[in-house]
Structure 1
Amino acid sequence: MFTKQGPTVRELAVQALSSTERGYDLIAPKFDHTPYRTPDRVLDAVTREVRGLGPFDAGLDVCCGTGAGVGVLRELCRERVTGVDFSAGMLAEARAAFPPGDEGPVVDWVRADARALPFAPAFDLALSFGAFGHFLPAERFGLFVEVYGSLRPGGRFVFPIGAPPPVGSRAYWTLLGFDAAMRVRNALWRPPFVMYYRTFALGDVLEDLTQAGFTVGLRPLTDLGTRPDGSPRARLVVATRER
């Protein structure tokens, strides 16, 4: 799962015993060599699906990390793209990946907590990849309200969400075990490192988006395949600020 360029076991242990912000500052230089970076096939599938919803002028990558989502937005937006993250280390890596002067829309980087976004309603498209496990369920509604307030009327907030693994499968037990270990770690050690895989259930997410003011739809990401019952392995959530 990890390449030779990725973090060592010791580096991962230090990260796990740090705060969420400090942990990502530490792992940032090697993050793209870990399995935690969103795979290109997911980025490509989302790009293809969202392209038909445009056109878009300005885009926002919420919790941009090292900039994978910014790369998607640069393909979809005509004028300006903004990446926002609370980790200075991750933003430094993102800046290096998209140096000034590249062709395409202008790219801005903002260090801020997604729970208090510092933007007026200026964006036509917001997206996020792989970040929602860093927010506790009680914080999710507030996060969605912040994104809603950053979008222009008619703006879209999109993100992929995978189908849960079958109960009893290897993936099911792996994610259950990880979340259990993280809960024990956070009960015994401060500061907390918030990262959970099983706290972002689709039904709860749709309810919170609706309460935040969005009109919500789902689109199958057929490029990512189907499950044995024919249902998609992943869907794209499309939340629209109508006015």
Structure 2
Amino acid sequence: MFSPEGPSLRELAVQALSSVEHGYDLLAPKFDHTPFRTPAPVLDAVASTLRRIGPFDDGLDLCCGTGAGAEALTKVCRRSVTGVDFSAGMLAIARERVKSDEPRVSWVRGDARALPFGADFDLVVSFGAFGHFLPRELPGLFGQVHSVLRPGGCFAFPVLAPPRPTSPAYWMLSGFDAVMKVRNAVWRPPFVMYYRDFQLGFVQRELQRIGFDIDLYALPEFGHRGDGSPRVRMVAARRRP
């Protein structure tokens, strides 16, 4: 499915009936051949914007998966890059992809809801992971990010403009979320993966409440919608001194 190197429909079904952690362990060898991997243009656009608002010394890729985001951070951070993920399978692929080229990069297995770090970073990024957290979990997640950033440090992530209700994408994503919610109501363990529960207004309010100041940067590489608003933004939340 997706490509000759990608997972089959049966493999995706087995993954979807597993826990999030085990599902990604199973998917890891073929993950980079699926649409779930953050596209290179998004990684490059975020890295370019971060270079403009830096400098940064030590970066953390939160829920790093197979390491594409951490690899992008090597173009931004001057001293070190760390990737953290709770899937051993995804981390194994990340180590294999990046180990020979970037000795500054390290990998840590850990849960984003209980990060095993002190205030060791001046940059934390995350790409495409927020759908794996329920809305009630996000304040705790943001609190963890706040705790590992040095004062003045930056938490950055891209956000796509939500599709309009008249677009096919809106109904496709809504349908996917509905199917996942039914699945989680009747099957255990749950597999949390929702596309429409991450609402920028709620996220901004929670980040500000926890102690971040927020800037939004349009990523011009992706153009604008009909009303002039950018299709993709980067959120840059600074930990207050």
- TM-score, reference length from structure 2: 0.98
Corresponding residue of 2:85: 85
Report matched runs for 1:39-188 at 5 Å. Answer: 39-100=39-100, 102-103=101-102, 106-188=104-186
Offset at residue 72 of structure 1 (A) = 1.4
Secondary structure in structure 1 of the residue aligned to 2:81: strand
2-structure distance, mates of 1:76, 1:50? 7
Number of corresponding residues: 241
Residues 115, 142 of structure 1: 8 Å contact kept = yes
CA contact (8 A) 1:60 1:123 kept: yes
Residue 75 of structure 1: SS of its match in structure 2? coil
Task: Give the SS at the match of 1:115.
Answer: coil
Are residues 1:35 and 2:35 paired? yes
Q: Structure 1: 5+ residue runs without aligned partners?
A: none
Matched-pair identity in %: 64
Question: Which runs of structure 1 show a deviation greater than 4 angstroms over 4 or more consecutive aligned residues?
Answer: none
Aligned residue in 1 for 2:189: 191
In structure 1, how many angstroms separate the alpha carbons of the residues matched to 2:48 and 2:223?
15
Code of the residue aligned with 1:32 in structure 2: it is: D
User: C-alpha separation between the residues in 1 aligned to 2:38 and 2:155?
Assistant: 18
CA displacement 1:84-125 (0-9 Å, x = unmatched): 00000000000001114x25x611111000000011101011
| Distance of 2:54 and 2:170 partners within structure 1 | 36
Matched residue of 2:127: which SS?
coil
Q: Deviations over 1:18-70 (max 9, x none)?
A: 00000000000000000000001111111111111111110000000001110
C-alpha RMSD over aligned residues: 1.0
Q: Distance in 1 between matches of 2:235 and 2:93?
A: 28
Amino acid in the other structure paired with 1:30: K
Q: Which residue type is aligned with residue 174 of structure 1?
A: M
Deviation, 1:168, is 2.4
Q: 2: CA distance between counterparts of 1:30 and 1:164? A: 28
Q: TM-score w.r.t. structure 1 length?
A: 0.97
1:204 and 1:168 map into 2 onto residues whose CA distance is 23
Shift of 1:137: 0.2
